[in-house]
């Protein structure tokens, strides 16, 4: 009865979940997820979920590592109805973007029930939820099963394309909308070649740029992201995926 009454006081779940994944390590899914979250926060409340538990913590990318607030270890034990306002108020934020970073949580500490409670609360309290998703654990399976759209970042390299083919098929079994973000580099593959080999459409082509590496490595992405090419890409992807 208490859970039912609490649910009556909660807002409807109207948010959209976008998952970002990399075909290989270092392809740029975390950077893309952060850019999508920051772009979404320009128009409303947004949530960035760190689902890459071996990625070092997305709060370091955004310069939030010293900001107080909950990380996954504090919310991993959630079950049942988690109030949307309670989650939002507990998290560190940059403007209207709230961030739930991995912290020191291990894959074994995240259960399907706990992940589901957090995702449900996030979707009730935010217009857009963006997840930086790793590969091969419970978080990946649960996050992609909730996703409205999955964006797979694929460098124009043969090995990355081979890896992306298997990953895209796996994710497509849970998410009906899988799209590619193709990162250009020194390889000879074209975006159309990547799309044909992976079997998914290209949502965006992302050129490599030296400035982006400096912004990311400097830990000040939240201040310098608008000066990089990924800013325009993130804004267009948001329009095309969540409206």
Q: What is the pLDDT of residues 17-32, one digit of tens each?
A: 999 999 998 899 999 9
- Determine the Cα angle at 34 with ends 58 and 86, to 5°: 70
| Average pLDDT of span 51-70 | 87
Q: Is residue 3's pLDDT more than 90?
A: no
Structure tokens at 114: 């706990």
pTM summary value:
0.92
- CATH code for the part of the protein at 15-241: 3.40.50.300
Closest C-alpha among 214, 215, 221, 180 to residue 197: 180
On whether the CB atoms of residues 169 and 197 are closer than 8 A, the answer is no
Distance set, CA 68 to CA 39, 120, 187, 202 (Å): 23, 23, 42, 38
On whether the CB atoms of residues 24 and 160 are closer than 8 A, the answer is yes
Give CA–CA dist 33/77, Å, rounded.
25
On whether the CB atoms of residues 73 and 109 are closer than 8 A, the answer is yes
Q: Is residue 13's pLDDT more than 80?
A: no
Give CA–CA dist 156/49, Å, rounded.
27
- pLDDT at position 7 is 46
What is the DSSP pairing of strand 16-22 with strand 128-133?
A: parallel
**pLDDT digit string (tens) for 164-206?**
999 999 999 999 999 999 999 777 789 999 999 999 999 999 9
Q: Is residue 57's pLDDT more than 90?
A: no
Which of the four pLDDT bands, split at 50, 70 and 90, describes residue 107?
A: low
Chain mean pLDDT for the chain: 88
Q: Is residue 103's pLDDT more than 90?
A: no
Q: Is residue 229's pLDDT more than 70?
A: yes
Identify which has the larger pLDDT, 225 or 80. 225
The domain limits of the chain are: 15-241
Which of the four pLDDT bands, split at 50, 70 and 90, describes residue 136?
A: low
């Amino acid at each position: 009865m208490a859970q039912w009454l609490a649910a009556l006081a909660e807002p409807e779940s109207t948010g959209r979940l976008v998952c970002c994944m990399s075909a290989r390590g270092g392809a740029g899914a975390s950077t893309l997820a952060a850019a999508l979250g920051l772009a979404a926060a320009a128009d409303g409340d947004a949530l960035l979920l760190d689902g890459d538990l071996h990625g070092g913590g997305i709060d370091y990318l955004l310069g939030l590592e010293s900001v107080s607030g909950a990380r996954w270890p504090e919310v991993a034990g959630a079950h049942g109805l988690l109030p949307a306002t309670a989650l939002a108020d507990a998290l560190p934020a940059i403007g209207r973007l709230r961030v739930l970073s991995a912290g020191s949580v291990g894959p074994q500490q995240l259960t399907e029930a706990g992940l589901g409670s957090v995702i449900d609360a996030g979707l009730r309290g935010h217009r857009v939820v963006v997840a930086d998703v790793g590969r091969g654990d419970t978080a990946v399976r649960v996050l992609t099963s909730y996703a409205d759209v999955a964006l797979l970042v694929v460098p124009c390299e043969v090995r990355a394309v081979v890896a992306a083919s298997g990953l895209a098929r796996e994710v497509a079994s849970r998410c009906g909308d899988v799209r590619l973000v193709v990162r250009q580099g020194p390889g000879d593959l074209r975006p159309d070649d990547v799309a044909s080999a992976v079997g998914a459409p290209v949502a965006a082509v992302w050129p490599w740029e030296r400035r982006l590496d400096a912004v990311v490595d400097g830990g000040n992405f939240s201040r310098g992201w608008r000066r990089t090419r990924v800013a325009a890409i993130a804004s267009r992807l948001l329009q095309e995926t969540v409206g």
